[in-house]
């Protein structure tokens, strides 16, 4: 990027707001999570640890909130007077929502977190200075900071466990922020393969680690631009629009059958993850 390029294409320099005149051309990675299918088994979280070289910090640090679960299973109980065990928890897998208008991107002083052309919210570890402003401004608190130096001083992967680290993913040192990448290492390989064959990535050709292991198939992931993709069809069926901050489920009168929503949409973050509401006992 030269200075002239910077000045001439200032509006292209950072895309903050999804807009119709600047649509994603080839890829827009998105996800949908069916909360009705989620059993809260945590397999997605474990798979993420294995795939993305997340440090297992141990009980004490976990209790201090220093954990690194890029996808975490949150448990919620209705406040209806029944015992917790009787009513059973509702589960919600929370990961970086890859917002189209991400609050974290605008506040980073060094531009370490950016939006890619594929609609990903990327994190550049080398550039991060650790001001943690991105986490402060993330309404989902889906960003995780390296509070300690896990690979070296904390020795999270002692010999020979370092052999199991994924060679495609960086091992992060202390003082940088990290978060879900939608398994960008897999996306890059898939795109590269597809490009060498002169086509786009097909639906199902690439899976995120969490999607791959989900025993109930609650997570679908794919390219929203691809009309054949399952995730796109789900978004379409649920009438969830990437560029709206209020979805049909909450607007239409006859929308009882619609379940799709995005979390904290009213903040106009335009997330790339759609959730399908859990079916309540009363509605079946």
Partner 1 sequence: MGKDIREDIAWAQINKDVLKSLESPRRMYWIILFIAIAMIGVAVGSEIYQYQTGMGVSNKNNSHVWGLYIATFIFWIGMSHSGTLLSAILHLMHADWRKPIYRFAEAMTTFSLMTAGLFVLVHLGRLWMVYYVMPYPNERWVWPNFQSPLVWDMFAIATYLSSSVLFLYVGMIPDLAICRDNIRAGWRKKLYTVMSLGWEGTDRQWRNFRITYLTIACFLIPLAVSVHSIVASDFAMSNMPGWHVTSFPPYFVAGALYSGCAAIITLFIILRYVFKFEEYMTLPIMKKLVRLTFAIAMVWTYLNLIEFASVWYGHDQTAKDQLIFKATGPYAPFFWAMIFFGSILPLMLAFKRFQTHLPILFVVSILLNVGMWLERWMIIAPSFAHGHYPWTWDHDQWPSLVQWGIVFGSFGWFTLLFMVFCKVFPSVSMYEVKEMVYHRSLALKHKPAVKGEY
Question: Which residues lie below 8 Å from residue 54, measured CB to CB, with a gap of 6+?
Answer: 48, 68, 69, 70
Name the minimum Å distance from CB 179 to partner 1.
10
Burial class (CB within 10 angstroms; exposed 0-12, middle 13-18, buried 19+) of 82? exposed
Q: How far apart are CA 274 and CA 262, in angstroms?
A: 5
Closer CB to partner 1, 72 or 186, in the complex: 72
Query: Quick count: other Cβ atoms within 10 Å of Cβ 178?
Result: 20
Name the minimum Å distance from CB 113 to partner 1.
9
Closer CB to partner 1, 57 or 190, in the complex: 57
Q: How far apart are CA 110 and CA 106, in angstroms?
A: 10
Name the minimum Å distance from CB 37 to partner 1.
21
Closer CB to partner 1, 126 or 196, in the complex: 126
Closer CB to partner 1, 22 or 195, in the complex: 22
Here the tokens at position 207 are 């899976």
Task: List residues near partner 1 by CB under 8 A.
Answer: 1-3, 6, 14, 61, 64-67, 72, 74, 76, 94, 103, 106-111, 127-133, 135-137, 139-141, 143-149, 153-154, 174-177, 264, 267
Name the minimum Å distance from CB 228 to partner 1.
34
Closer CB to partner 1, 43 or 133, in the complex: 133
Name the minimum Å distance from CB 269 to partner 1.
8
Cα dihedral value 251, 253, 257, 263, nearest 10 = 20
């Amino acid at each position: 990027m030269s200075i002239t390029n910077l000045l001439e294409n200032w509006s292209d320099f950072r895309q903050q707001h999804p807009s119709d005149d600047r649509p994603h051309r080839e890829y827009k990675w998105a996800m949908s999570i069916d909360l009705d299918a989620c059993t809260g088994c945590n397999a997605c979280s474990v798979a993420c640890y294995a795939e993305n070289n997340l440090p297992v910090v141990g009980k004490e640090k976990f209790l201090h909130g220093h954990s690194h679960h890029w996808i975490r299973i949150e448990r919620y109980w209705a406040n209806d007077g029944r015992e917790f065990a009787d009513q059973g928890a509702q589960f919600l897998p929370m990961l970086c929502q890859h917002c189209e208008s991400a609050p974290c991107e605008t506040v980073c002083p060094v531009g370490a977190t950016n939006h890619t052309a594929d609609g990903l919210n990327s994190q550049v570890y080398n550039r991060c200075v650790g001001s943690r402003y991105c986490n402060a401004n993330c309404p989902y608190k889906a960003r995780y900071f390296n509070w300690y130096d896990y690979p070296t001083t904390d020795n999270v992967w002692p010999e020979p466990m370092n052999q199991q680290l994924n060679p495609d993913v960086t091992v992060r040192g202390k003082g940088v922020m990290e978060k879900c990448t939608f398994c960008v290492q897999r996306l890059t390989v898939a795109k590269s393969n597809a490009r060498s064959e002169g086509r786009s990535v097909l639906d199902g050709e690439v899976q995120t680690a969490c999607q791959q292991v989900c025993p109930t198939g609650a997570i679908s992931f794919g390219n929203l631009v691809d009309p054949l993709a399952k995730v796109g069809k789900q978004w379409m069926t649920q009438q969830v629009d990437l560029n709206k901050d209020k979805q049909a489920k909450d607007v239409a009168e006859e929308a009882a059958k619609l379940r799709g929503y995005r979390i904290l949409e009213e903040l106009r973050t335009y997330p790339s993850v759609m959730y399908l509401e859990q079916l309540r006992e009363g509605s079946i």
